Amino acid sequence: MGEAAEHRIGRRSFLNLLLGITAVGWLGSILFPIVRYFKIPPRKEDEPASIVAAKLKDLKTNEGVIFKFGSSPGLLVLGPDGQLRAFSAVCTHLDCTVKYRPDMQKIHCACHGGIYDLTGRNISGPPPRPLTQFRVVQKGDDVIVFRV
């Protein structure tokens, strides 16, 4: 076999590999949304009613921490006034995860600039509703968050 033929086979193998990768990517982009659509969401009964969201000694004033509350994120804030507050960290606009911004002393959604105050009320940007608020109980060093 000549050098030109070997070169052609190499090019053909490369193109076949590229075609295979493209086909797998295409198939994945079709199947992923279908599988995700049919994935059964967790039932409300399966979600925990409460959780130890943080240890008080690990929190600083004017700071927020994200914690996992069942299948979704929660946000625990130790406000500048020293009060503990907890919310669902799921933005009411398009479900991005919100964060506490110490510089603004507000809860901020980086996706589209939504802003919530420290009561969880939507005060600026596209979010249509307030954040879901949770009840916070301090027991010793544990900061326990309850679904209301």
Q: Identify the CA nearest to 71 among candidates 93, 54, 88, 92.
A: 88
The least distance separating ligand FES from the CB of residue 126, rounded to whole angstroms, comes to: 5
Q: Which is nearer to ligand FES, 75 or 91 (CB)?
A: 91
First to last CA, the chain: 76
Q: Identify the CA nearest to 134 among candidates 125, 126, 144.
A: 144
3-state secondary structure of 7: helix
The DSSP result for 40-86, as a single string, is: PPPPGGGS-SEEEEEEGGG--TTEEEEEEETTEEEEEEE-TTS-EEE
Q: Which is nearer to ligand FES, 64 or 127 (CB)?
A: 127
Q: Are strands 133-139 and 142-146 parallel, antiparallel or unpaired?
A: antiparallel
Q: Which is nearer to ligand FES, 73 or 146 (CB)?
A: 73
Binding site for ligand FES (CB under 6 A): 91, 93-94, 96, 109, 111-112, 114, 125-127
The least distance separating ligand FES from the CB of residue 106, rounded to whole angstroms, comes to: 13
Q: Which is nearer to ligand FES, 97 or 144 (CB)?
A: 97
Q: Which is nearer to ligand FES, 65 or 127 (CB)?
A: 127
* CB contact at 8 A, 106 and 119: no
